[in-house]
């Protein structure tokens, strides 16, 4: 006897070809019924024999469409219904959106083939997409994911596209972003005066201009990219000057994986990520580099390179014409958000780019490229920037609260998080809120989230830092919405991210090692070298790096020599005198004497060591000294490393002792690489000493310092599986994760706070 079943699927199931897949599966099994998107995911009704329905369900769960991610799936029998056939029916929107927001997907192999095939009707069509690939979040206006809810809706389908769309056997059956040369998006190629450039083949022309040393602003589907030849040092120099970005490394787009592999040693784990649907920039070691990239301009002082492969039809068509790698960096002035519309670009990039390749697809959510690195020895994957491809979702986490919570994160690498219903959304990396345009994007993102989910938060979480822009804005919003505000300490939020990511809140006696540049501490000092214990839903500060003077405010993180000055005694006077004028020293000595503000920042300790080793006295970008420092360790033998603290025994970790150790080695003529290895070894050893002392069996590590993958490798090596180590997995360890941590802390630890 035939029965009717209702199947509910939630997770990343919209905009990923789920309905056409279900249609074909049901048709193949001769089941009748319907499938539609709703605000919770996908809802399916099937009528047929129980055995067939079971077969349908198990195949759906075991083998879903390639870019989908099922988080929950359930089947149950309902009242019998007769269906004439199997149909995809229009989305129903009952209630608020309650499903993951689909991120952008890199161009798939099939589409890649089509645009390179002169017999295909999409030959050279840059906006070729299908159910498995193309922009999603960057063109989303609202949800559920339907063409009419995206900016592709501005381009009505031509007959050929529509025929594909309604044909169940076509691979573009129900592909919401379907367009072609006939009906689709069009380019506009101009010089900097806005004069149209006539050309038969746009990408050939772009490639030629790039080879001639021109800078071109190319509108991609997630925002503008500034492109130039990566082998031409003079154009990169020019780009640096115009973009106001003196040293921060640029990522390089290789025409293909083959090209990249010719020049670089790429591990198979890195290849996998380079080719993934998220397709981020992957930071790859330059050891054995044999190519012609102008490295001293692309990645000054570094032994690593950010590498990416084409991820859209636009970049693929350009790549097809290129026989050299190019710089492809976010289209903005350094520190501002990535630009996405012609008007802004005309104003802001007119002095930067020589030519502009615009198009008329509106980008509703501009996104930067994501960045990650895989550690050399143990292949630990660390996200540095979470944006295109990864944001704005956080999957597979169940929270048990009805409260609607908005968290505003930190200031320097802001991202926000929202829990409006059953899912937790962690927004993309937005940048430094000190920048006016980034701040605007931050407030827009808050509006965007509250609009899409049609929910107003009931509680707002901000950092404890009273002067953060995000804290200030939070105070304004709580007044406007008449809701509660809750401040959460920065490093406790970091700790809570790892506890949350690994579902450890039910455990006890976990050591939290949270190291970063700065964060406002419970005692009003600037924390950043923290050890916590998590016990019974409470986070308690165990110990920290010994306090030293925080001098000259924000300048301290920009000038590593100031950290050195703050940390050392008279025995370092020779080196100190070489780094400051006598006038400067006079002023600094007075400041140091009367200074009350202290810090335990490990970020500043890295700065001091980099300055002492004459690697960097001034940071031209955030974390430069620490990055340069790590970079100098090309290899190390753990057996030859020494611990400057000689096993931690006192109440605090002695920063001065570490500096002293470095100085002695330096005076003894030990080579820089070995001194840095010793320094990192000291840090790793300290973690284990603190764990030994506190009988913890699990260690969670987070904060910007843990972007240092050499430190991670060393820790894993000396740990020898004694302790279970937990790092951030789907989030960056830096301040991008604070918003998520604020929600985790609020839900799990706030009731145990002493305040």
Give the active site residues: 19, 37
Give the binding range for Zn ion (CB under 5 A) out of 131-139, 197-205, 507-515, 554-562: 131-139
425 touches 393 (CB < 8 A): yes
**Which CB sits closer to Zn ion, 175 or 599?**
175
Identified binder of Zn ion from the candidate list 111, 446, 514, 539, rule CB under 5 A:
111
Place of tokens 């998520």: 740
512 touches 755 (CB < 8 A): no
Give the binding range for Zn ion (CB under 5 A) out of 177-185, 604-612, 649-657, 659-667: 177-185
Identified binder of Zn ion from the candidate list 158, 266, 399, 716, rule CB under 5 A:
158
Shortest Å distance, C-beta 16 to Zn ion: 11
Shortest Å distance, C-beta 114 to Zn ion: 8
371-374 and 381-385 strand pairing: antiparallel
**Which CB sits closer to Zn ion, 106 or 602?**
106
Alpha helices per DSSP H over 694-753? 709-719, 738-748
Burial of 188-206, coded b for 16+ CB within 10 Å and e otherwise, reads: ebbebeeeeeeeeebbebb
Specify which residues 218 forms β-bridges with: 225, 357
Binding string, residues 183-202; x marks residues near Zn ion by CB under 5 A: x-------------------
Shortest Å distance, C-beta 35 to Zn ion: 21
- Examine residue 433 and tell whether it contacts Zn ion (CB under 5 A): no
- Examine residue 130 and tell whether it contacts Zn ion (CB under 5 A): yes
Max CA distance (Å), the chain: 95
**Which CB sits closer to Zn ion, 277 or 525?**
277
- Examine residue 265 and tell whether it contacts Zn ion (CB under 5 A): no
Give the binding range for Zn ion (CB under 5 A) out of 180-188, 225-233, 638-646, 691-699: 180-188
- Examine residue 67 and tell whether it contacts Zn ion (CB under 5 A): no
- Examine residue 705 and tell whether it contacts Zn ion (CB under 5 A): no
- Examine residue 182 and tell whether it contacts Zn ion (CB under 5 A): yes
DSSP letters for 443-467: HHHHHHHHHHTT---SEEEEES-TT
Q: Give residues 90-109 in contact with Zn ion (rule: CB under 5 A).
A: 108
- Examine residue 133 and tell whether it contacts Zn ion (CB under 5 A): yes
Read off the tokens for 729: 């997995």
Give the binding range for Zn ion (CB under 5 A) out of 9-17, 28-36, 154-162, 526-534: 154-162
- Examine residue 66 and tell whether it contacts Zn ion (CB under 5 A): no
Shortest Å distance, C-beta 15 to Zn ion: 12
151 touches 141 (CB < 8 A): yes
Binding-site size, Zn ion (CB under 5 A):
10
In this structure, the number of other CB atoms found within 10 A of the CB of residue 424 comes to 25
Burial of 351 (0-12, 13-18, 19+ CB in 10 A): exposed
- Examine residue 361 and tell whether it contacts Zn ion (CB under 5 A): no
Shortest Å distance, C-beta 169 to Zn ion: 16
**Which CB sits closer to Zn ion, 15 or 733?**
15
Distance CA 152, CA 35 (A): 23
Q: In sequence order, which residues have a C-beta less than 8 Å from that of residue 672 and are 6 or more positions away?
A: 613, 615, 632
Binding string, residues 273-302; x marks residues near Zn ion by CB under 5 A: ------------------------------
Distance CA 163, CA 140 (A): 24
SS3 143: coil
Shortest Å distance, C-beta 179 to Zn ion: 6
Shortest Å distance, C-beta 133 to Zn ion: 3
**Which CB sits closer to Zn ion, 108 or 743?**
108
28 touches 21 (CB < 8 A): no
**Which CB sits closer to Zn ion, 111 or 496?**
111
237 touches 297 (CB < 8 A): yes
**Which CB sits closer to Zn ion, 88 or 183?**
183
- Examine residue 659 and tell whether it contacts Zn ion (CB under 5 A): no
Give the binding range for Zn ion (CB under 5 A) out of 68-76, 181-189, 348-356, 493-501: 181-189
Task: Give the distance, in angstroms, between the CA of residue 525 and the centroid of all CA atoms in the same chain.
Answer: 29
Whether a cis peptide bond, with omega within 30° of 0, leads into 657 is no
Specify which residues 459 forms β-bridges with: 405, 484
**Which CB sits closer to Zn ion, 67 or 676?**
67
Q: Using only C-alpha atoms, what is the Rg of the chain?
A: 27
505 touches 499 (CB < 8 A): yes
- Examine residue 319 and tell whether it contacts Zn ion (CB under 5 A): no
Give the binding range for Zn ion (CB under 5 A) out of 132-140, 198-206, 217-225, 286-294: 132-140
Place of tokens 């924000």: 554
- Examine residue 121 and tell whether it contacts Zn ion (CB under 5 A): no
Shortest Å distance, C-beta 321 to Zn ion: 21
Chain residues in the site for Zn ion (CB under 5 A): 108, 111, 130, 132-133, 158, 161, 180, 182-183
């Amino acid at each position: 006897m035939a029965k009717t079943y209702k199947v509910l699927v939630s997770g990343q199931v919209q905009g990923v070809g789920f309905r056409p897949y279900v249609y074909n599966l049901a048709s193949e099994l001769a089941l009748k019924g319907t499938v539609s998107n709703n605000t919770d995911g996908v809802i399916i009704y099937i009528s047929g024999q129980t055995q067939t329905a079971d077969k349908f369900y198990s195949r759906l769960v075991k083998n879903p469409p390639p870019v989908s991610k099922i988080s929950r799936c359930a089947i149950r029998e309902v009242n019998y219904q007769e269906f004439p056939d199997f149909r995809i029916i229009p989305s129903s929107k009952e209630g608020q959106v309650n499903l993951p927001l689909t991120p952008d997907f890199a161009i798939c192999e099939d589409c890649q083939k089509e645009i390179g095939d002169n017999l295909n009707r999409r030959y050279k069509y840059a906006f070729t997409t299908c159910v498995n690939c193309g922009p999603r979040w960057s063109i989303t206006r609202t949800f559920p994911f339907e063409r009419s809810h995206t900016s592709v809706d501005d381009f009505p389908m031509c007959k050929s596209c529509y025929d594909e769309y309604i044909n169940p056997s076509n691979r573009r059956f129900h592909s919401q972003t379907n367009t072609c040369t006939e009906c689709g998006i069009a380019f506009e190629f101009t010089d900097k005066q806005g004069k149209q450039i006539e050309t038969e083949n746009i990408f050939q022309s772009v490639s030629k201009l790039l080879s001639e040393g021109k800078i071109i602003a190319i509108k991609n589907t997630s925002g503008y990219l500034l492109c130039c030849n990566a082998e031409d040092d003079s154009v990169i120099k020019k780009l640096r000057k115009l973009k106001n970005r003196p040293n921060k490394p640029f990522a390089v787009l290789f025409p293909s994986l083959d090209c990249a592999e010719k020049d670089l040693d790429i591990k198979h784990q890195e290849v996998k990520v380079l080719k993934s649907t998220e397709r981020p920039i992957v930071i790859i070691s330059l050891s054995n580099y044999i190519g012609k990239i102008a490295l001293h301009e692309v990645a000054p002082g570094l032994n690593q390179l950010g590498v990416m492969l084409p991820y859209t039809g636009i970049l693929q068509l350009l790549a097809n014409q290129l026989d050299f790698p190019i710089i492809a960096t976010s289209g903005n002035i350094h520190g501002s958000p990535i630009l996405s519309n012609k008007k802004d670009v005309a104003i802001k990039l007119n002095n930067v780019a020589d030519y502009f390749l615009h198009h008329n697809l509106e980008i509703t959510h501009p996104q930067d490229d994501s960045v990650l690195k895989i550690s050399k020895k143990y292949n630990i994957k660390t996200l540095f920037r979470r944006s295109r491809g990864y944001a704005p979702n956080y999957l597979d986490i169940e929270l048990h609260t009805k409260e609607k919570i908005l968290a505003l994160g930190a200031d320097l690498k802001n991202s926000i998080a929202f829990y409006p219903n059953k899912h937790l959304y962690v927004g993309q990396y937005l940048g430094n809120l000190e920048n006016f345009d980034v701040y605007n994007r931050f407030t827009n993102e808050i509006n965007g989230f509250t609009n899409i989910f049609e929910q107003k938060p009931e509680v707002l979480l901000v950092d404890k830092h009273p002067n953060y822009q995000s804290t200030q804005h939070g105070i304004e919003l709580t007044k406007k919405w008449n809701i509660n505000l809750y401040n959460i300490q920065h490093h406790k939020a970091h700790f809570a991210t790892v506890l949350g990511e690994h579902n450890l809140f039910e455990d006890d006696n976990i050591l939290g090692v949270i190291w970063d540049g700065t964060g406002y501490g419970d005692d009003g000092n600037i924390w950043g070298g923290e050890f916590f214990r998590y016990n019974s839903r409470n986070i308690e500060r165990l110990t920290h790096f010994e306090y030293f003077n925080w001098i000259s405010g924000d300048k301290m993180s920009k000038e590593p020599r100031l950290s050195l000055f703050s940390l050392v005694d008279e025995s370092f006077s020779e080196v100190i005198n070489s780094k400051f004028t006598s006038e400067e020293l006079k002023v600094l000595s007075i400041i140091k004497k009367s200074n009350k503000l202290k810090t335990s920042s490990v970020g500043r300790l890295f700065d001091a060591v980099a300055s002492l080793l004459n690697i960097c006295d001034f940071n031209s970008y955030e974390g430069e000294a620490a990055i340069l420092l790590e970079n100098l360790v090309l290899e190390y033998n753990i057996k030859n490393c020494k611990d400057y603290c000689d096993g931690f025994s006192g109440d605090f970790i002695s920063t001065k002792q570490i500096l002293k150790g470095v100085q002695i080695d330096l005076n003894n003529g030990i080579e820089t690489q070995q001194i840095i290895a010793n320094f990192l070894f000291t840090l790793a050893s300290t973690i284990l000493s603190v764990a030994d002392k506190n009988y913890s069996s699990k260690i969670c590590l987070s904060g910007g310092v843990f972007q240092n993958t050499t430190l991670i490798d060393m820790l894993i090596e000396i740990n020898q599986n004694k302790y279970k180590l937990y790092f951030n997995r789907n989030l960056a360890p830096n301040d991008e994760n604070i918003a998520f941590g604020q929600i985790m802390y609020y839900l799990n630890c706030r009731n145990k706070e002493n305040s």
